[in-house]
A and B are shown apart, each in its own frame.
Chain A
């Protein structure tokens, strides 16, 4: 399998180097045809915030690794920052296995990252649209996407929040049935508050209010997230209608005292009130936790949840490795069957078997002196039928690699050679 993978990732380089090799979709569209012109049969390139990876398939014995590394660096004019040593490379089964690890999420910075699968898919689609992904890459990436889906379906690799902001939203979902009917208030406009607001919106929160000491920052966050700004001086007046509060401001004393929460709670008839305090020092009086139907969490309790989830995800890695092993075996079986010689052998065997069965069934109808002749004639017929396909299969050197693989694949499908092979294995 002449497959090569070259790339840069969080395992091999820090962010300031990775960002130098980040390719936009347009840059990928421009780069891929150049590789094809340089003689590589098939190529796929994708870029995420944590990795840029190039997969090439060639029929030549020389992979031209240095050329490809140089190509990536020069495409981004990053020579002054990155050298070839910052890039990793995997060959043949190692490259396929690496792609499978990436698609499954176990190679991600956050184990079980759900976004990577769609990023791999869009990278492949881009190559398809550019005409640089063909028969082999199609099978390879379909297998990778299949592994990604299996990993998420058959294991818990992507379950449980692994960031404080997402943990807060996950907790809200354990309390409320329909976030669409709830109102949330974000106090502060820092990074974690922004992320939590984003996740809440992603989960369809009914209404999002934002308040901040610096009004302009609140306006900015509201513009980014589609929320409504409440002036900081007046936010306590609106507390009665709020179900979820995320507090994240720098303040010397609590911005919400227990008495504020008590007042909020009074008109709610027992409806749950969910409070997330991610401020340091804390923004909400921790004693409010004792009030009925009040769920108050600070950074420590959220970090505890995140840590537990990370450990659970990591415990799934051995099972994912098993899945990758199974799919690698299938890929190799498929690939080795695509050579001309095994296909010729399988086809010859199939026709010979059919000939033998038919002769055995009908030989008694012929006189004993004719039986040898029947053997001879039927064998000749089969050989003549096979002659042209075998010659065509053997002499495919003037065709492109893609055409050759397609031809072999069609023959295997038409004559059911793979199904037959599976049956004989099962038997």
Chain B
């Protein structure tokens, strides 16, 4: 009972905390407040911890990974975006893009908190630990793709501002073009690794879990296509030295294709591999 109260409190608190986080990152980016610059990464770390406790609590109380409904997936996605961003921020040491990325986490979390249900009864197949690993790695991978696309979008914005001689807040505050491209590439590399894991866990678990499993399921084919597309992009960049605006455009188009695969294909064509 106590645990359910904690879950309910955190369910209300998390969107507010993400709002606070976005506000602090916004204050640092647009108003350049020193206290916001100082505190933002610490607040991000704190909220990631709280969110982790919330997800862990849900897993133990409801006895299944919080990935069985679309609204559980959304809170997991919000968490994945925050974790992936924190990782990239640490790797690249560029802290100016958080406002744009963490807004996504905030919107995912608010949608989740509004509609999430406390499900105690779920199919046994969804209690399997391999399912948890499959979904977690897939979602972290998709979060990294989202982040890569945001960096791609920021790159294109800055590219046009510089070429049009507009020297406003975007010009002044965003990292330089090469850094944005590097951050986008880090995110894509992370996404590729995580999707590889998701596919691996999926191929081990899915055939055992579903009687109507098919290797030709549109969702599987779509995911493999996304994986192959990003893999080719990484090789092209590493070996062929691809760089610049066109690569960033591809990153944004890759994201659009991923969203299409995740939504339209998932809802209309996939048979066994669907969210509840």
Residues of A within 8 A of B (CB): 154, 156, 171, 173-178, 269-272, 289, 292-293, 295, 297, 301, 304-305, 308
Contacts and interface: CB of A to CB of B under 8 A. Distances in A.
B177 A175 contact: yes
Contacts of B162: 171, 174-175, 295
B177 A292 contact: no
A287 to B, nearest CB: 13
B214 to A, nearest CB: 40
A269 B244 CA distance: 8
A301 B246 contact: no
A269 B245 CA distance: 10
B47 to A, nearest CB: 28
Contacts of A174: 158, 162, 171, 176-177
Contacts, number: 53
A165 to B, nearest CB: 17
Interface stretch (B136-144, B235-243, B251-259): B235-243
Contacts of B165: 297, 301, 304-305
A293 B176 contact: no
Contact of A177 (B34, B158, B163, B179): B179
B178 interface: yes
B52 interface: no
Interface in B171-200: 171, 175-179, 182
B107 to A, nearest CB: 29
Contacts of A305: 165, 167
Contact of B240 (A171, A269, A297, A304): A269
Nearest to A172: B176
A293 B163 CA distance: 9
Given A174-B176, A177-B178, A270-B244, 20 more contacts: A173-B176, A174-B162, A175-B176, A176-B176, A177-B176, A177-B179, A177-B182, A178-B178, A269-B242, A269-B243, A269-B244, A270-B242, A270-B246, A270-B247, A271-B243, A271-B244, A272-B244, A292-B244, A292-B246, A295-B163
A269 B241 contact: yes
A270 B237 CA distance: 11
Nearest to A171: B162
Nearest to B241: A269
A58 B84 CA distance: 64
A171 B212 CA distance: 58
Nearest to B248: A270
B172 to A, nearest CB: 8
A176 B163 contact: no
Contact of B245 (A171, A289, A292, A304): A292
A289 B165 CA distance: 11
Contacts of A292: 244-246
Contacts of A156: 32
Q: Which of B32, B165, B177, B243 has the most CB of A within 10 A?
A: B165
A151 to B, nearest CB: 14
